[in-house]
Structure 1
Amino acid sequence: MERREPPRTEEGLYVLHDLQRVDWDAWRGAAERDREAAIEEGIAYLEDHAAVEKGDTAVFSVLGHKADLLILHLRETLEELDRAEREFEGCALAAFTDRTSSYLSITEASGYTEAAEDYFDPEAEADPGLQRYMDSRLHPELPDTEFVSFYPMSKRRDPEYNWYDLPFDERRELMASHGDIGRDYAGKVTQIISGSVGLDDHEWGVTLFSDDMTDIKQLLYEMRFDPSSSKYAEFGRFYTGRRFAPAQLEAFLVGESVSFDGAEGSEDEGTVDTELAEEFGRLGVTADAPEGAHGLVLRSDADVETVREDVEGLRGNFEHYDSHVLTEVREDRGKAVIVSLWATERAASTARGFLEELPGVEEVTAGAFADADVEPAETGEAENADDDIRGELADLDIYAGKPHGEDVYAMVLYSEADPDELAPAVEELSEGFDRYDTHVKTATYQAEGGGRSAIVSIWETADAADTAGGFLADLPGIVARAGEESGFGTMGMFYTVKPDYQEEFVEKFDTVGGLLDGMDGHHDTDLMVNVADENDMFIASQWRSKEDAMAFFRSDAFRDTVQWGRDVLADRPRHVFLA
């Protein structure tokens, strides 16, 4: 029989689920001084262990007969967990408890996804966003949520359903489907997955956290119908608990209500509602924020392009989650500003942990988000100009600027490099961009008849296009970005010509080009042709001012050209203006 190759794994923090049952008869019969000592030493133990520099500890009230208390420890070494166990047995509280169960494991990340394979490949290019994501799996912080659900599990090794006999690709497909269900609950349920092969009776421990226990129930219910669970999973006992603060140990022991209010917030968390939305507006960021959304604004003194690159890596992971609304980088007074919007406070708090690790972050504002009518400080004028142009061209059935309902953004750079050298470099970069869902296309174009080349990169978000510009600028022979020349630039995008009309289209451009040469305010115009697809073209045109360009677009010659184009173009043309 063929031996299956196991996926690679990496381990992080050791995890101990310590389940205790309170001897209520002994507690009720104890002297007052003994109860006071138990409370005092119990609180001290829990608070001291929750305050460790590396790792975490939390306490939960367990519902049902299986236990009364769950003390959950995360530590870097087994020696630390061993000491934590023995220290508890040495405090006065332990005189009134008995360990009813425990589970030992270690946080784990495995190589079932393509991204994880890159993480484990020493020759793969480092991805800061992926690195942070894997670090969050291996070195998690316990979330400040009310409910916890813990259960151990294993994969079946039955004659009919043996997980370990499946080919790797089949196991990976099953795990991907399983993960898709979990991502639907991002922002609602947080998980810690820990491996326990050789450490305890099952193969994994699963710890789920949420502020709504029904979210955990619904998540697990949906997963039961997934083949990775229905055919290949076996489960141990389930434990459900409510977190409470160590200081509320006495309330727990005397039968009063307990709760956990979360970590103490910093001053910057007080920004709420329209104040945060106004800050987004001043930075030129618009968003359709769902009810209950929470936002983040982080300021960094690091190089803006460095921050953009790191954020782009993070955003690739953020966009796996439905709770993610947007994450963008803006430049404000020479400094990088990261803005991030999430559907829930929990999701925003989790994202904050990643974003605060970005280089140079020195100031963070976080809070609830409500729409505010604020004109962006610097972008409003440009956007209004774009809207004006779109309106003037609407009668011509041509899009201008960002097409309505087709939110795409273009970045164009010009190069003097040899096209044979430039095109392979662009193709390689485009293949890298394809890892991101926001990427539409990136291609090399050359001016008809020779001359400079252009690289066009089209994205679904403005920030992604701008970030791509940082990478594109490193291509050989780059001399300028569209829009950097003096005057007013207009770039006619997406002139996809029917193959039978390609030569006729080029001839028509030559005719129009002759007309342009005689127009006031016209600097130059090039027909740029995709080196990989001669039917894909755009027109790069430079004018002294917007008014000069619009004079041409209002001319009868242009109207005639548009009418002629309806018969020869495979797609509706769109124009993007770069002021």
Structure 2
Amino acid sequence: MERRKPPQTVEGWYVLHDLRRIDWDAWRAAPERERERALEEAVEYLQAHERLADAEEGASAVYSVIGHKADFMMVHLRPTTAHLDRAERAFEGTAFAEFTERATSYVSVTEMSGYVHEDIGDGVENIEDPGMRNYIANRLHPELPDAEHVCFYPMDKSRGPDANWYDLPFDERAELMSGHGDIGRDYAGKVSQIISGSVGFDDYEWGVTLFAEDAVDIKHLLYEMRFDPSSSRFAEFGPFYFGRKFDPTELPALLAGEPVGEGAAEHAGSHAGGHSHENEAADDREGADESASSAASAGGRPSVPDEPPHDVVNASELERELSRVAVDLTDHPEAGYGLVFSSTEDAETLVEDVQGLAGNFDHYDTHVLTTVRGDKGRSTVVSLWKNERAANTASGFLSGLEGVERGIGAELDAEEGVGGAGAGVEGTDEDDELRGELTDLDIYAGKPHGEDVYAMVVYSEADSETVDEAVSGLAERFDHYDTHVKTAVYDAAERGRVAVVSLWKTRDAAEKAGGFLADIPGVVARAGEESGFGTMGMFYTVKPEYRDEFVDRFETVGGLLAEMEGHLETDLMVNVDDENDMFIASQWTGKEDALSFFRSDAFRETVQWGREVLADRPRHVFLA
């Protein structure tokens, strides 16, 4: 039998999962002074390791464990096994350790394998692609996420007579791993993971640690993976440990049976990430007046203001506002109450605070949607909730956003709501009606490269060099998939932002790519999130001798656009790797406003002129 060559691996930090049980009988029988001393030493130990007092790099955190298997779990990542050895012994030296017994432990090391990059065995520093280098380095030296829930389990790949993973050819294993990874990428932003190898270190071959704010996201991810062949045929699992993150200072509360972690928001003054909560005393509440940034980071349940700061309007008025900023209520049938706040600030200024609020709101099952949209140099914040009481609570935080002038709210009936165009992936084969209208105007709106493609476009505030470095690694990985058409970075000729355009043959593939693109430095929005209607004139490939003339022509047309009804902004975007490859990103309040421009004499003359200077026909992808 042929011996398979194992894929190369590269390792990072060593990992110790240390799970402990409390000897409750001994704890209850101990004098108060002994318990206080034990807790003091334990908290000091946990805090010292979280701040890396014992090492120059690494990470540590502590979690309560739900169920009978353990009471709490300490996780340490360190550069050497000596660090882990010292951390383990240091805990045993605390007075608190006398009241615990080890339930189990697991030793491993973060790793990446040749399934990710064929040259990984030569060392991360020798991989030419800087984006791929960064990707691998982040996986080998990860942060412990500040998420509420954790799930840890060890696993093997099967070596049975009917399903032996190690007898499969490399290409087959790589394809299975790629498909398995596709499922995980669907949960980008919801579930993060640390994969560590443990061959020769412990009883299984890998340790898997998952982190999520919503516990159900972990369940859904693992359930979906069960049906993937990589798991259904070849995976064997050890015991699962599930718990919640808490701050070391909350250890006394944990042993006293009081709420810890994010669940302590209504009772305590600090949570797992160290942010301050509202004080229990009503007189100490800052209430609805506190700033949006502190609301976003607090993690506690916001108090309900006596009188919400928004004006109550009828449903039709609110629905008109939602339609104007392209929020389609039929996409959110569970929404029972809507809020719209207007701000003098632009969307890029508010996006971080709004995302922080949305992350906080997501802890509550009454939250449906919170987002910000650009609106002629201003911005509009939309927040949808299942009931009025929850919306009134959110209103207090939204009114504190920078530049907010007015807010309105109303009860909603999503089935009767007006339609709008949401942000996200739009495919060229789903715009038939609009294409027909453009065809009637003798405007070609065909499919780029003659293919059915889906475009995912994100904007970043980072400089083009930084973005290009991050995207180059992603593009190389994307090229492993036959559904990938093109991913490129474009720089705005006039404005300080960069666009990343990723084209795919299927909607699912484009959406998965969006999960990766969202991690690019400085990302502020997807195309289509900033206005009611956007059209992208893509692949304007200009003949080199006409390039300067094309740019001058755009400036002339841009001046005309600025005076048109419903026009928000238009950018000329230039491919950073090919100055003759451009697209025009144009944002409009609505479809009819954009079509009015397409019907104009100025556009018709520009199209006629373009036939002389372009190396190919202009092709359009509609993003909203």
- TM-score where L is the length of structure 1: 0.57
- Give how far 1:41 is off: 0.8
Matched, 1:307 2:466: yes
Match of 1:565 in 2: none
Q: How does 1:12-27 map to 2 (within 5 A)?
A: 12-27=12-27
Partners of 2:109 and 2:196 within 8 A in 1: yes
1:80 to 74, 79, 83: 83
Q: Which residue of 2 aligns with 1:59?
A: 62
| 2:190–2:217 Cα contact (<8 Å) kept | yes
Q: Give the SS at the match of 2:542.
A: strand
Deviations 1:94-132 (A, max 9, x none): 01101110000000111114xx22555689872222111
Distance 1:349 1:232 in 2: 27
One-letter amino acid of the structure 2 residue matched with residue 54 of structure 1 = E
CA distance in 2, matches of 1:9, 1:49: 28
Measured in 2, the distance between the counterparts of 1:238 and 1:10 equals 26
- Post-superposition offset of 1:179: 0.9
Measured in 1, the distance between the counterparts of 2:38 and 2:620 equals 75
Q: How far did residue 93 of structure 1 move?
A: 1.0
Q: Does 1:210 align with 2:280?
A: no
**1:153 paired to 2:155:** yes
Deviation at 1:90? 0.5
Residue 104 (structure 1) aligned to one of 104, 107, 110 = 107
After TM superposition, give the deviation of residue 173 of structure 1 in Å. 1.2
The letter for the 2-side match of 1:246 is: P
Cα deviation for residue 225 of structure 1 reads 1.3
Deviations 1:280-320 (A, max 9, x none): 88899999999799xx99866xxx55234224336649989
CA distance in 1, matches of 2:250, 2:499: 37
**Is 1:71–2:81 an aligned residue pair?**
no
Q: 2:544 aligns with which of 414, 428, 436?
A: 414
What is the CA-CA distance between 1:410 and the residue it aligns to?
Answer: 2.8
Give the 5 Å matches for 1:477-556: 553=605
Letter in 2 for 1:89: E
Q: Counterpart amino acid of 1:91? A: T
Q: Is the 8 A contact 1:223 1:229 kept in 2?
A: yes
Q: Report the equivalent of 2:224.
A: 222
1:406-430 per-residue CA deviation (whole Å, 9 max, x = no partner) reads 76243536279xxxxxxxxxxxxxx
1:38 matched to which residue of 2? 38
2:48 corresponds in structure 1 to 48
1:47-446 alignment runs, 5 A limit? 47-52=47-52, 53-113=56-116, 116-117=117-118, 119-120=120-121, 126-260=128-262, 261=271, 263=273, 275=345, 277-279=347-349, 304-313=463-472, 316=475, 355=521, 408-412=538-542, 414=544
Provide closer, same or farther for how the CA distance between residues 372 and 100 of structure 1 changes in structure 2, counting only shifts above 3 A.
same
Percent of aligned positions with the same letter in both sequences? 47
Separation in 2, partners of 1:365, 1:550: 34
1:115-165 deviation line (CA, Å, top 9, x unaligned) = x22555689872222111111211110001111110000011111111111
Q: TM-score, normalized by length of structure 2?
A: 0.53
The letter of the residue matching 1:22 is I
Matched position secondary structure for 2:249: helix
User: Is the alpha carbon distance of 1:15 and 1:268 closer, same or farther for their aligned partners in structure 2, counting shifts above 3 Å?
Assistant: farther
Residue 153 of structure 1 contacts residue 202 of structure 1 at CA under 8 Å; is this kept in 2?
yes
Q: 1:229: Cα distance to partner?
A: 1.0
Residues 290, 142 of structure 1: alpha-carbon distance in 2 compared, 3 angstrom cutoff:
farther
Matched letter for residue 63 of structure 1: I
CA distances 1:394-444 after superposition (whole Å, capped 9, x unpaired): xxxxxxxx9x5x76243536279xxxxxxxxxxxxxxxxxxxxxxxxxxxx
Q: CA deviation at 1:44?
A: 0.7
The AA in structure 1 aligned to 2:347 is A
Could you tell me which amino acid in structure 2 is paired with residue 14 of structure 1?
Y
Separation in 1 of the partners of 2:606 and 2:518? Answer: 50
Match of 1:3 in 2: 3
State whether residues 154 and 203 of structure 1, in contact with CA within 8 Å, keep that contact through their aligned partners in structure 2.
Answer: yes
CA change 1:306–1:232 in 2 (3 A) is same
Work out whether residues 269 and 366 of structure 1, in 8 Å CA contact, stay in contact via their aligned partners in 2. Answer: no
Change in 2 beyond 3 A, CA 1:211/1:573? closer
CA contact (8 A) 1:129 1:310 kept: yes
In structure 1, stretches of 5+ residues that fail to align are 321-325, 342-346, 356-363, 375-386, 388-401, 417-461, 474-480, 484-489, 491-548, 563-570
| Counterpart contact for 1:269–1:365, Cα < 8 Å | no
* Corresponding residue for residue 429 of structure 2: none
Displacement of 1:372 in angstroms is 7.1
Question: Which residue of structure 1 lines up, in the alignment, with residue 415 of structure 2?
Answer: none
Q: Tell me, what secondary structure is at the counterpart of 1:117? A: coil
Q: Which amino acid aligns with 2:578?
A: L
Contact 1:312 1:464 in 2 (8 A): no
- Residue 31 of structure 2 aligns with an amino acid whose one-letter code is A
Aligned counterparts of 2:211 and 2:138: Cα–Cα separation in 1: 15
Does the 8 Å contact 1:156/1:162 carry over to 2?
yes
RMSD (Å) for aligned C-alpha atoms:
5.2
Q: By how many angstroms is 1:250 displaced?
A: 0.4
Structure 1 residues 124 and 75, CA gap change in structure 2 (3 angstroms): closer
Deviation at 1:240, TM superposition (A): 0.5
Instruction: Give unmatched runs, 5+ long, in structure 2.
Output: 263-270, 277-290, 297-340, 352-372, 385-422, 424-457, 480-486, 502-512, 547-569, 585-600
Q: Distance in 2 between matches of 1:43 and 1:554?
A: 70
Offset at residue 371 of structure 1 (A): 6.8
Q: CA deviation at 1:227?
A: 1.4
User: Aligned equivalents of 1:136 and 1:254: distance in 2?
Assistant: 38
For 2:67 and 2:81, how far apart are their aligned partners in 1? Answer: 30
Whether contact under 8 Å (2:346, 2:377) holds in the other structure is no
- Alpha-carbon distance in structure 1 between the residues aligned to 2:537 and 2:209: 39
Amino acid across the alignment from 1:117: E
Are residues 14 and 551 of structure 1, via their aligned partners in 2, closer, same or farther at CA, if it must alter by over 3 Å? closer
Structure 2: distance between partners of 1:58 and 1:259: 12
Tell whether the 8 Å contact from 1:43 to 1:249 is kept in structure 2 after alignment. yes
Q: Report the Cα distance in structure 2 between the residues aligned to 1:139 and 1:8, rounded to whole angstroms.
A: 18
> Take 1:189 and 1:257, find their aligned partners in 2: how far apart are those partners?
24
For 1:166 and 1:183, how far apart are their aligned partners in 2? 24
Matched position secondary structure for 1:408: strand
Contact 1:329/1:463 (8 A) holds in 2: no
Give the number of the structure whose alpha-carbon radius of gyration is greater: 1
Kept after mapping to 1: 8 A contact 2:110/2:194: yes
- What amino acid sits opposite 1:277 in the alignment? A
Task: Verify the 8 A CA contact 1:411 1:482 in the aligned structure 2.
Answer: yes
Aligned residues: 396
Amino acid corresponding to residue 172 of structure 1 in structure 2: A
Distance apart, 1:197 and its partner CA: 0.4
